[in-house]
Amino acid sequence: LGARSLFFAMFRPSMLSTLRAAAGVCKRSIAVGAKIPELQGLKLLAGKEASDASTKEIFGGSKVVLFGVPGAYTPVCSSKHVPSFINNADQLKAQGVDKIICLSVNDKFVMENWGEKLQVADKVMLLADVDGNLTRALDQEVDLTAAGLGKRSHRFAMVVEDGVVKHVFTEASPADLTETSAEEILAVLKKA
C-alpha cells in the first residue's frame, strides 16, 4: 500500500480498535475554572491570513470555542468534526461565541491547505500547534505512535471565556465523535 492508502486504512473499522488502544482512555484535561496557560508563538490562521499569536491574544476578552483534532486530513476530523463547526458557526455566534478555533498538532502549511480544502473561510479559525506545547498545557496530548501518527491531540472541545475554561469535553478515543461536535457544544451553550 502507498502511504496515503496505508494512512486511510488505519481508519477502517478493523483499525479503529488499534486507534482506541493506542490512545487509551483520556482521564485528564485542563479543569473547568482553570486559566488557559500563557504561551507565545502559536500560528493562528484566519481565512488566508496567518499570524503569530499568544494565548492571551487568542482567548483574552473573548468567548471562544476551541476544539482539538488528532490531525488535519484524518477522516473523522475532515468529514465530521470540522464540518460540524462550519455548519453551526452562525448558531454558535448567536450564542455569544466570538471565535471558533480548531487546534491540531500540525504545521501552519498543512493547516492552511486543509482549511482551504474544507472551505473554513471566516467560519472557523485554525490553530497550528506546531510543537504541541498548547496541547500539552491543556493536558490533551495523546501518543498515537502505535497507529502511525505520533504525539497528537485528543479529540476535545471547550468553551473558554476571557481565558478561563467554562466547559471541557474529551472523547475517549480519537475515532469517536459523541461529546465534542458543534451540535453538542451548541446544546451546552443553550442550557447555560
The single residue of 77, 82, 102, 149 carrying the catalytic annotation is 77
Q: How many angstroms separate the CA atoms of 54 and 86, rounded?
A: 24
CB-CB contact of 124 with 102 (8 Å): yes
Q: Cα dist. 156→27, 69, 150 in Å?
A: 12, 7, 18
Q: Per this entry, what is the length of the chain?
A: 192
CB-CB contact of 135 with 129 (8 Å): yes
Q: How many angstroms separate the CA atoms of 161 and 158, rounded?
A: 10
Enclosing H/E stretch for 90 = helix 89-94
Residues 6 or more apart from 138 whose CB is under 8 A from it?
A: 29, 30, 36, 37, 68, 156, 158
161 grid coordinates? 471565556
Q: Tell me, yes or no, if 26 is annotated catalytic.
A: no
Residues designated as active site: 77
